[in-house]
Amino acid sequence: MRVLIVHNFHRPNSASGDDAVVKREHQLLKRRGHEVRIFRRENSEIYRARALQRLRMAAEIPWSRANYLAMRREIKEFQPAIVHFHNFFPLLSPSVYLAAHHEGIPTVQSLHDYRFFCPAAFLFRKGEICRKCPERGLHRAVFHRCLRGSLPQSLLAALATAKARKSLGLITSFIVFSPSSKDRMAEMGIERDRIFVKPHFLLPEEVPTPRATENYFLFAGRLGEEKGLKVLLKAWESLDLPLKIAGSGPLESLMKDLPPGITYCGFLERKRMQDAMSRAYALVVPSLSPETFGLTVMEAYAAGVPVLASTAGALQDLVEHGETGLLFERANPSDLKEKVRWLRDHPHERERMGRKARMEFEKKFTSGENYRILMEIYEKTLKNHEGN
């Protein structure tokens, strides 16, 4: 099968989960004998561009005729059986959906975030879950300057989201990564029978060998407000336990003058992150926004490491309380602190949870199982496309 993957990559050294997913699915399909191409743009183009070029790029965020034409040329040349979309924002624009539609190609969209309904992508504003744009209109994002506090950026993002929302009917199938995400996307307007659940996975060479644990807890991921970093730091104010923070993002300024016991590791390349994860006592995931999955949870499970996670979105699907880790109340640093202390005081329970976590990985998140599910989705997509 020929598969055309479409993705707007983030900047290098970002803690972007969708970039990692695209690379893994690309490798998985190639190893299984499929012909695969990636139609791509990269945010690094923005940083290399001159002022006039940046203005042109900005003007094309809601709609890019150049990408529309380039996408149609790519499809004509490659002749894919299916087009698999991941992220269109900001440089590709929603024009790529119309291009695939005009070429008559079946399409799949992986919903890594809420970009089709929320210009800021996270359904999150000022520390709280926000549904104003899906329920009351995209002008709310402009009014509140939801994208980096910028009126122009928020306006362009809202226009792109409006165009993307109109493209939903052009997409054959959608992939989400947890049952709760399926429910949420259906509530916001995507037909339930077009949504398929497929979790993420690790390639065989990425699966670590469980190692002897050390006594530190680990936070790994994007340093953004929606990831609960402030909740984490508040909880640790009176915890005399080692904590390592790995990642990059807009809240890196909080990593200055950290109290004793908390170490900021910066952005870690794959092998160093894997090593840090494998040796951790537990992974802490204090997210505030409704997560669509939780790649670090899966990576912790692969290393046989239990997870302390908030009750935010798909994290409740991933973490079985008392079995593969512990859940704590979202945005509640006191509850997080209590759960950290409990895990510290019950080392045998921690070891049991770690073993159960590894078993959960072997059952649900291997490349073989993921390939089986992906092929089923592709086959149903092709069938549904022929029926329309």
DSSP notation for 316-368: HHH--BTTTEEEE-TT-HHHHHHHHHHHHH-HHHHHHHHHHHHHHHHHHSBHH
Q: Tell me whether residue 10 is in a domain.
A: yes
pLDDT tens, position by position, 151-210: 999 999 999 999 999 999 999 999 999 999 999 999 999 999 999 999 999 999 999 888
Q: State yes or no: pLDDT of 211 exceeds 90.
A: no
- Please compute the mean of the pLDDT values over residues 352-358 and round it to a whole number: 97
- Please compute the mean of the pLDDT values over residues 350-356 and round it to a whole number: 97
pLDDT tens, position by position, 277-297: 999 999 999 999 999 999 999
Same domain, 349 and 374: no
Angle of CA points 31, 44, 271, to nearest 5°: 50
Give the Cα separation of 192 and 188 in Å (integer): 10
Of residues 369, 267, 234, the one with CA closest to residue 10: 267
Same domain, 319 and 342: yes
Cis bond before residue 210 (omega within 30° of 0): no
Q: Any idea what the CATH number is for the domain that residue 353 is in? A: 3.40.50.2000
Q: Is 273 helix (H, G, I), strand (E, B) or coil?
A: helix
Choice between 270 and 354, residue whose per-residue pLDDT is larger: 354
Same domain, 219 and 330: yes
> What percent of the chain lies above the pLDDT cut of 90?
93
Q: Tell me whether residue 17 is in a domain.
A: yes
In this structure, are residues 167 and 97 in contact, taking their beta carbons and an 8 Å threshold? Answer: yes
Q: Tell me whether residue 96 is in a domain.
A: yes
Give the Cα separation of 192 and 37 in Å (integer): 29
Q: How many domains does the chain have?
A: 2
pLDDT tens, position by position, 93-144: 999 999 999 999 999 999 999 999 999 999 999 989 999 999 999 999 999 9
Q: Mean pLDDT across the chain, nearest whole number?
A: 96
Structure tokens, 375: 């092929």
Give the Cα separation of 340 and 334 in Å (integer): 10
What is the CA 387 to chain-centroid distance, rounded? 31
Residue 212's pLDDT is: 83
Q: State yes or no: pLDDT of 270 exceeds 90.
A: no
Same domain, 8 and 84: yes
Q: Which domain holds residue 297?
A: 208-364
Give the Cα separation of 93 and 107 in Å (integer): 16
Residue 367's pLDDT is: 98
Same domain, 303 and 257: yes
Name the E strands within the chain: 2-9, 35-42, 82-85, 107-110, 124-125, 128-129, 173-176, 195-197, 217-220, 243-246, 262-266, 282-285, 307-310, 325-328
Same domain, 186 and 300: no
Q: Is 309 helix (H, G, I), strand (E, B) or coil?
A: strand
Q: State yes or no: pLDDT of 335 exceeds 90.
A: yes
Q: State yes or no: pLDDT of 321 exceeds 90.
A: yes
Q: Tell me whether residue 332 is in a domain.
A: yes
Q: Tell me whether residue 147 is in a domain.
A: no
- Please compute the mean of the pLDDT values over residues 325-349 and round it to a whole number: 97
| DSSP one-letter code for 202 | B
Residue 13's pLDDT is: 67
Same domain, 234 and 342: yes
Q: Tell me whether residue 117 is in a domain.
A: no
Q: State yes or no: pLDDT of 14 exceeds 70.
A: no
Same domain, 179 and 311: no
The distance in angstroms from the start CA to the end CA of the chain is 21
Q: State yes or no: pLDDT of 15 exceeds 70.
A: no
Give the Cα separation of 333 and 230 in Å (integer): 9
DSSP letters, 44-63, are HHHHHS-HHHHHHHHHTSS-
Same domain, 212 and 235: yes
The answer for residues whose C-beta is within 8 angstroms of residue 73's C-beta and 6 or more apart is none
- Please compute the mean of the pLDDT values over residues 227-236 and round it to a whole number: 96
pTM: 0.95
Same domain, 31 and 177: yes
Same domain, 343 and 373: no
| DSSP one-letter code for 170 | G
In this structure, are residues 5 and 41 in contact, taking their beta carbons and an 8 Å threshold? Answer: no
Count CB-CB contacts under 10 A for residue 283.
27
Residue 54's pLDDT is: 95
Q: Tell me whether residue 70 is in a domain.
A: yes
Same domain, 381 and 275: no
Q: Tell me whether residue 139 is in a domain.
A: no
pLDDT tens, position by position, 69-94: 999 999 999 999 999 999 999 999 99
